[in-house]
């Protein structure tokens, strides 16, 4: 389980040119807050699907990194096993 969610937004810069954008939100203590809103304008794609996949990959990678940092700060948040 992770408190982070990734929303992806492919943006059409002009016909046939797309770039990826993603937003990371964190849900904690009954509230959701945006922790990152990233536009990857430096890399363009020829289709909406490719831009969407690039945003998903980048966002998921950022969440994995943020999750590791959160775990290192709060090592008592260990997963529990059900018997």
User: CB count, 10 Å around CB of 74?
Assistant: 9
Which pLDDT value is given to residue 1?
66
Give the torsion sign (CA, 42, 69, 52, 11). negative
Q: Are the beta carbons of 54 and 71 closer than 8 angstroms? A: no
Q: How much of the chain, in percent, has pLDDT values that exceed 90? A: 67
Using DSSP's 3-state secondary structure scheme, residue 19 falls into strand
Which residues lie closer than 8 Å to 46 by C-beta, 6 or more apart?
Answer: 16, 17, 18
Which pLDDT value is given to residue 72?
52
Question: pTM for this one?
Answer: 0.75
Q: Which residue positions in the chain have pLDDT lower than 50?
A: 71, 74-83
């Amino acid at each position: 389980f992770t408190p982070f969610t990734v929303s992806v937004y492919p943006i059409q810069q002009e016909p046939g040119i797309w770039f990826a954008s993603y937003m990371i939100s964190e849900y904690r203590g009954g509230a959701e807050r945006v922790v990152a809103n990233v536009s990857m304008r430096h890399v363009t794609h020829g289709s909406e699907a490719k831009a969407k996949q690039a945003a998903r990959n980048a966002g998921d990678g950022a969440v994995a990194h943020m999750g590791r940092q959160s775990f290192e700060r709060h090592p008592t948040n260990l997963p529990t096993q059900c018997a």
